[in-house]
Chain A
Amino acid sequence: MSTPMRRSFADRDDLVAYLREQFPAAAARDAAVSPIRGGQRAARERLARLNPVRYAATRNALDGAVTGLSPYLRHGVIGLADVRDAALAAVRRAADAGKLVNELGWRDYWQRVYRQLGRGIWRDREPLKTGWPASAYAVALPDDVAQGTTGLACMDAFSQQLRDTGYLHNHARLWLAAYLVHWRRVRWQAGARWFLEHLLDGDPASNNLSWQWVASSFSSKPYWFDRENLERLSGGRFCRSCARANECPFAGDRARLAQRLFPQLPPEVPR
């Protein structure tokens, strides 16, 4: 048996210094440490603040009342059943916890699919429905996305937040993934690998299958968005200061955007 690692530290800085020295390759790639703390005590503090009614009303907005529980669920620090039970205890009628429990269901669902697929989770589950052949997509993650230097204030902020904190709101993940796959035409696997390096909740099941859902290899149509959608759910915070606001690749009429992204598909029925 190899020598046990240290268990006693003066404080977090002491722990981080020790881990930098123990895992020099990881520290050399990216030395950032998240403000999000590990452990069940931290998870229980978040559980105690659960507000399923506000969650249902605001979860789509970047500053909505999301739980931030994903890193703890990912590592089994708490279970889906614990969160469900806490949500039910926090409401008067079970239906008021319905939205939150439904989102928990996504994690349970992806876990079950992962048990079936195993390492096949890295391959397209179904052909893409974008009109583009798989060979039209680049294999590598573009540098400007990885470094956050695209000039698009939103995408650069998401890239930065991913690397600095290891957490992104669900919509930031959706937008960054759609930008990479549909606007930049990069294979979803490149983005999935990048996310797994950084996300504290990084999990091949939820991550890869969400990427496949965006890409359309595990859904009936590609997920994409427009500026109006992003601007609204982000309270306009990125567009206000964006250097490329006047040549925004997400702006404009939805039908024309769809035509530009997926020219081989039949025109979208206006909504």
Chain B
Amino acid sequence: MTSTIVWVHGDCLAPDGPALRAYPDAPAVFVWDDALLQRRRLSLKRIVFIYECLLELPVTIVRGNVAAEVTAFAAAHGARRVATSDSVSPGFAAIRRRLAAALTVEVLAAAPFVPPDVPLDLRRFSRYWQRAGPLALQPTPPDAP
């Protein structure tokens, strides 16, 4: 019995991504979202590129409805928790909400480009960069996630 599985998605395909790193022994799953592939008309070359990334990850690859497949994968492994890496996309937020109906969801962030919690003005790049630029030019501290 495993208590946690990892959900790998297309915004974080690193072998050392935060979720895979936090749970190196957990079963991991990636789901091709068939509806999204159709809606976006993703070309074959994009699919090949993503698949090549997936082949470097210790992950089971399936296709279908993402939330349903991840939930079924958790059930198959007797897991009640799912860990994943953060993403800004609204599609990610929607799936995360659906997963939370059946599972405890833990979302982990990758090493930040600019330290988190710095208030940034997003109206125009120039305003954002005034504040973010000097911080972004600092190397990642050694104790970062």
Please give the residue numbers on chain A whose beta carbons come within 8 Å of chain B beta carbons, in ascending order. Answer: 1-5, 7, 9, 15-16, 19-20, 23, 25-27, 29-34, 36-41, 71, 75-82, 84-85, 88-89, 94-95, 97-98, 101-102, 104-106, 108-109, 111-116, 118-119, 163, 165-166, 193, 196-200, 202, 204-205
**In the complex, which of the residues B64, B125, B140 contacts A2, with contact meaning CB atoms closer than 8 Å?**
B64
Residue numbers of B with Cβ under 8 A of A are 10-17, 32, 37-38, 40-56, 60-64, 69, 72-73, 75-76, 85, 88-90, 93, 110-114, 120, 122, 125, 128-129, 132-133, 136-137, 139-140, 144
Beyond known contacts A16-B48, A81-B110, A81-B113: 5 more, CB 8 A cutoff: A26-B42, A26-B47, A27-B44, A75-B11, A104-B113
Query: Nearest-CB distance from A202 to chain B (Å)?
Result: 7
Q: Which of B10, B44, B51, B56 has the most CB of A within 10 A?
A: B44
Chain B: interface secondary structure? Answer: mixed
A-B contact count (CB 8 A): 187
Tell me how far the C-beta of A58 lies from the nearest C-beta in chain B, rounded to whole angstroms: 21
- List chain B residues, Cβ under 8 A from A197: 40-43, 46
Which of A41, A88, A200 interacts with B45 by CB under 8 Å? A200
Task: Say yes or no: B43 contacts A26, CB within 8 Å.
Answer: yes
Whole-angstrom CA separation of A39 from B140 in the bound complex: 23
Known A15-B48, A19-B44, A200-B49; judge A108-B114 contact (CB<8 A). Answer: yes
30 A–B contacts, CB within 8 A, in A order:
A1-B62, A15-B48, A15-B51, A20-B44, A23-B37, A23-B47, A33-B45, A40-B16, A40-B53, A71-B49, A75-B11, A75-B49, A76-B17, A76-B110, A77-B14, A79-B110, A81-B110, A81-B113, A82-B111, A84-B137, A84-B139, A89-B139, A101-B133, A109-B122, A112-B120, A116-B122, A163-B43, A166-B46, A197-B43, A200-B45
